Chain A
Amino acid sequence: MKRRDPATFHRLNRRDLLLAGAAGVFVFAVPVRALTRPSLAAAILAFTGDAPVKESGVHFEIAPLVENGNAVPVKIDVDSPMTADNHVRRIALLTEKNPQADVAIFHLGARAGRAQVATRIRLATSQVVVALAELSDGSYVISRANVVVTIAACIEDLSDE
Chain B
Amino acid sequence: MPAPAWLAFAVLAMFASAESAGEIPFKDRRSGFDLMSPQTQAMQADDASNPGMLWVIDGERLWQESLGKAGKSCASCHGDAVNSMRGVAARYPAYDERSKRPIDLSGRIINCRQKQQPAPPLARESDELLALTAYVAHQSRGMPITPATDPRLEPFRDKGRGWFERRLGQLQISCASCHDDRWGARLGGSIIPQAHPTGYPLYRLEWQTLGSLQRRLRGCLVGVRAEPFAYGAPEYVDIELFLMSRAAGLNVDTPAVRP
Contacts from A to B (Cβ < 8 Å):
63, 65-68, 70-73, 120, 150-151, 160-161
**Would A150 and B189 count as touching, CB distance under 8 A?**
yes
Query: Is B219's beta carbon under 8 Å from chain A?
Result: yes
**Would B218 and A67 count as touching, CB distance under 8 A?**
no
The docked-state distance in angstroms from the alpha carbon of A73 to that of B36 is 14
The tally of residues in B whose CB lies under 8 Å from a CB in A reads 17
How many contacts A-B (CB < 8 Å)? 40
Partner of B206, one of A65, A66, A151: A151
**Would B206 and A70 count as touching, CB distance under 8 A?**
yes
20 examples of A-B residue contacts, CB within 8 angstroms: A63-B39, A67-B36, A67-B37, A67-B39, A67-B190, A68-B205, A68-B206, A70-B205, A70-B208, A71-B43, A71-B208, A72-B39, A73-B39, A150-B188, A151-B188, A151-B189, A151-B190, A160-B222, A161-B215, A161-B219
Contacts of B222 in A (CB 8 A): 160
Query: Is B120's beta carbon under 8 Å from chain A?
Result: no
Q: Which of B36, B188, B189 has the most CB of A within 10 A?
A: B189
**Would A67 and B259 count as touching, CB distance under 8 A?**
yes
Contact A150-B219, Cβ < 8 Å, known A67-B259, A70-B206? no
The docked-state distance in angstroms from the alpha carbon of A65 to that of B218 is 28
The docked-state distance in angstroms from the alpha carbon of A66 to that of B39 is 9
B88 smallest CB distance to A (angstroms): 28
The docked-state distance in angstroms from the alpha carbon of A36 to that of B219 is 34
Output the nearest chain B residue to A71 by Cβ-Cβ distance. Answer: B205
Partner of B43, one of A65, A73, A161: A73
Contacts from B to A (Cβ < 8 Å):
36-37, 39-40, 42-43, 188-190, 205-206, 208, 215, 218-219, 222, 259
A76 smallest CB distance to B (angstroms): 15
Partner of A68, one of B215, B218, B219, B259: B259
Output the nearest chain A residue to B222 by Cβ-Cβ distance. Answer: A160
The docked-state distance in angstroms from the alpha carbon of A160 to that of B36 is 24
The docked-state distance in angstroms from the alpha carbon of A140 to that of B160 is 60
Contact A67-B43, Cβ < 8 Å, known A151-B189, A160-B222, A161-B215? no
**Would B37 and A63 count as touching, CB distance under 8 A?**
yes
Output the nearest chain A residue to B43 by Cβ-Cβ distance. Answer: A73
Contacts of A150 in B (CB 8 A): 188-190
Contacts of B40 in A (CB 8 A): 67-68
A129 smallest CB distance to B (angstroms): 14
The docked-state distance in angstroms from the alpha carbon of A70 to that of B222 is 21
B123 smallest CB distance to A (angstroms): 15
The docked-state distance in angstroms from the alpha carbon of A151 to that of B37 is 15
Partner of A67, one of B42, B205, B215: B205
A127 smallest CB distance to B (angstroms): 15
Contacts of B205 in A (CB 8 A): 67-68, 70-71
Contacts of B218 in A (CB 8 A): 161
Contacts of A65 in B (CB 8 A): 37
Q: Which of B37, B42, B43, B215 has the most CB of A within 10 A?
A: B37
Output the nearest chain B residue to A151 by Cβ-Cβ distance. Answer: B189
Contacts of A120 in B (CB 8 A): 43
Contacts of B190 in A (CB 8 A): 67, 150-151
Output the nearest chain B residue to A73 by Cβ-Cβ distance. Answer: B39
